[in-house]
Every structure is written in structure tokens, then in C-alpha cells.
Amino acid sequence: MTSFLSGYEPPDRPRDGAMLFLTRGMDVLIHEHAGTVTVPTGATFPELTASAHYLGALDGEDCYCAPLPRDFTPPEGTSLVPARSLYKRLDEARFAVAGRALAIVEWDVQHRFCGRCGQPTELVRGERARRCPVDKTPFYPRISPAMIVLVTRGDTMLLARNSSLPEPMFSTLAGFVDAGESLEECVAREVREEVNVEVKNIRYFGSQPWPFGRSLMVGFTAEYAGGDVRVDGKEIAEADWFHPDHLPRIPPRLSIARHLIDAFVARVKGSPSRS
């Protein structure tokens, strides 16, 4: 079983063989040969490895990340690709580390200077933070809490199609938490706003970091309590109740949305869920 041990302080050992996740925005640099995708090592880009951030160790293999300079041109055999495109091209563990790298590099780039006084910030030993040496303001990687919920009614589930997705796919409802709002309050509000449905018996399911919104997706299940489905027409294009035997196109297994759906399908059909 793959094991990732996160860390802040780089170990005292050579970085030549370490995986080096080099990013720019939401893109990641990869090696590609004969259809196989791999992550570059520190030996390939020693000039970037020296100042890279330590992420942790994946099955004992050190992982680092660093931003790509603006004038960087990918050498032959490498390419800069959207991180989302690496799903199923990288194994799930490396894909997750790539997502972590995106967030850490963005934090490092955006907080090189203090947002209060403009002074250059400094890295803080022992934690993932930058701090202003003048007014001591700390800056941490941004994490935006969001809820995701599967609403059920008997042996059917409420799935919706987001109007912004380039391909038609139905998924669970989700939304970001407002300031001063609990996760449970967010569940009820988002479902009401997006599909005009009231819910009850809100229960925690699990969580998943999601780098493409710099968010932590907190999963819930909830039961239908009332209301006729009526989409908001903005975020949600259409929504309906679906039985496990007649599902539309749904998210891939990597996502917590799919875990929620699979768990409900397994419960309805009386078999163990697949992860």
C-alpha cells in the first residue's frame, strides 16, 4: 500500500533522486516517453532543486516542489501540462502529491512580500509558513473549506449537472462555506439555493483535499425533507433524482463525489462499496 509521509524540513540527504514537482499556475512539468509519464528528479534540474520546498516522502522517496521561472523553456523530452490532464496518467498517489505541490508553490509565490507593509517575508522553520520580519504577520497556504453532499430520497439520489463543466456529467451538490457559517448550515443553504430542496439528518461522510480550488472538500450525506427540484439556472443547469440502476455519467473514482455515490449504490444494492 502506498504511503505518503508529509514534512516541512528537508532531510539531510542528496536531492538528486528525489521527485521534483515543478509548477507554473495550474500546470506541472512532466517527462513523457512512449506514452509513459514520470515526474522529473532533482538531478535533472539541480538549479531549481536547491531552493525547492520539501513536501514529504512517498514510499520513502523524497518529494520537492518549486515554481518554474517565467523564462523557463521545457527541455526536450519534457512538457508543461495542465495538472488535471494527469489524472489516470499518473498513479493516484503521485497525482495527489502533484496537487499538494500546486498549492505550496502558489502560496510561496504569492506571499514573497508582506501584504501589510510590503517587506520581503521569510520562511519559518518547523511549519509551512512565511512571516514578515517587521510586523510578524504570518502567511500560510490558503485552504478554502467547502462542503459536498449527496442528498437521498428512499432508493434515489439527487444529482445535478453544473453549467460550467465542458462535458455533460452529473454529480453531487457542493459549495464554499461562508464566513461565520457552519458546515451543516452550508449544506442546507447550498442545496436550497441550487435546487430548491430542504434537507434533514445531515451526517459527515469524509473529506478530500482538492487543489483545483485550493479547497478542502468536506463530504456529507443528507436526506430529502421537502421541496420540488428547481435549479437556480446559474451554477446548476439541470438536476433530478436517479436510481442506482439508471445513473447518468458520473464523476471518476478519484473524487469524493464518486465515493459518496458508490457508497449509496452499495447500500441500496446491499454490497460493499468500491473505493
According to the annotation, is 34 in a ligand binding site? Answer: no
pLDDT value for 272 = 53
According to the annotation, is 89 in a ligand binding site? Answer: no
According to the annotation, is 63 in a ligand binding site? Answer: no
Better-scored residue on pLDDT, 1 or 237: 237
Spatial contact of 143 and 210, defined as CB atoms under 8 Å apart: no
Query: pLDDT digits over 27-78, tens only?
Result: 999 998 888 899 999 999 999 998 999 999 999 999 999 999 988 989 888 9
273: pLDDT strictly greater than 90: no
Specify the pTM: 0.82
According to the annotation, is 194 in a ligand binding site? Answer: yes
Three-state SS string over 83-147 comes to: HHHHECCECHHHHHHHHHHHHHHHHHHHCCECCCCCCECEECCCCCCEECCCCCCEECCCCEEEE
According to the annotation, is 92 in a ligand binding site? Answer: no
Instruction: Please give the domain boundaries of the chain with CATH numbers for all domains.
Output: 4-110 (3.90.79), 144-269 (3.90.79.10)
According to the annotation, is 198 in a ligand binding site? Answer: no
According to the annotation, is 266 in a ligand binding site? Answer: no
According to the annotation, is 222 in a ligand binding site? Answer: no
According to the annotation, is 84 in a ligand binding site? Answer: yes
163: pLDDT strictly greater than 90: no
Paired with 136 in beta bridges are none
According to the annotation, is 8 in a ligand binding site? Answer: no
> For residues 44-77, b (16+ Cβ closer than 10 Å) or e, as one string?
bbeebbeebbbbbbbeeebbbbbbbeeeeeeeee
pLDDT value for 275 = 41
